[in-house]
Amino acid sequence: MNIALNPFRARNKETLVLGATGKTGRRVARRLAEKGVSVRAGSRSASPAFYWDNEASWDAALKGVDAVYINYAPDLAVPGAKESIEKFVDKAAKHGVKRLALLSGRGEEEAQASERIVQASGIDWTVVRAAWFNQNFSEGAFADMVQAGAITLPAGDIREPFADVDDISDIIVAALSEPGHAGELYEVTGPRLMTFADAAAELSRVLGRDIDYVQIPHAAFVEGVKESGAPREVAWLLDYLFSTVLDGRNEHLTDGVERALGRAPKDFADYARDAAAKGAWRTAA
């Protein structure tokens, strides 16, 4: 009897998940483990610890690894990211890594420069180029705004096809644990275009209280981020995203989720209901 072995099932080495405590990373790590994949967490709190800003920590994290989820924090657009990705991918190749999955961003030329590094590495690769996350409203930069009842941003009427982190994570998991995804670039969006005011309206309906969208000048927003004590690179990133990327260039839908997973992407309304049911915006008694 001729038995065809799945090379992904035959692996006994580890998969390194960078950003393992973040929005996508912790989901990817958990779902890979649920599939029986041996996972090594890549984070500052892991052992061995991984630091993007300390190249000396990379070798220990890569030793014995044959697949890596590359999730650069805070974003591939920030100054220095391309150089770090170039050095990291070179080290990964020297350690014998066989597969890379890179999380990238839509409409960011700086991020696309890192994509090209991964694509030219000689290692099997998958790129997931994602729209803004739904979960930014519950686990990220906008969560406190939702809790306070006012999403205060310089976004205007630009529409964004918010993507769900669960969809993104499922694609990453498939790319790292199943055949058929090598050499694929999946551009991931949700199923519809929404303004930030539309998102606020959806959240209002789900939470049963008013969540307003308040348009503010860009300069005032950036100054507020700096005064909040946000790290310098985060302040830079938010300035960049709202002044450059959120200009209409991404006002179109893509079929990345359908191509990768064979199903429709999750809608923002479904995300909001699920997040609320899990207590994302629950106030203390």
Q: What is the DSSP string of 231-277?
A: -HHHHHHHHHIIIIISSSTT-S---HHHHHHSSPPPPHHHHHHHHHH
Residues 6+ apart with CB under 8 A from 66: 11, 13, 14, 15, 96, 97, 98, 99
Pick the closest to residue 123 from 102, 103, 105, 96 (CA basis).
Answer: 96
**pLDDT level of residue 12 (50, 70, 90 thresholds):** low
Prediction pTM value: 0.94
Residue 35 pLDDT exceeds 60: yes
**pLDDT level of residue 285 (50, 70, 90 thresholds):** very low
**Per-domain residue ranges of the chain:** 11-133+163-189+251-265
Pick the closest to residue 50 from 12, 79, 83, 92 (CA basis).
Answer: 92
What size, in residues, is the chain?
Answer: 285
Two structure tokens written together for 104: 């990238």
pLDDT digits (tens, 9 = 90+) for 106-144: 999 999 999 999 999 999 999 999 999 999 999 999 999
CATH 3.40.50.720 fits 11-133+163-189+251-265, yes or no: yes
Q: Which residues of 209-244 are buried (b: 16+ CB within 10 A; e: fewer)?
A: eebebeeeeeeebbeebeeeebeeebbbbbbbbbee
Q: Residue 6: what pLDDT?
A: 45
Q: Residue 207: what pLDDT?
A: 97
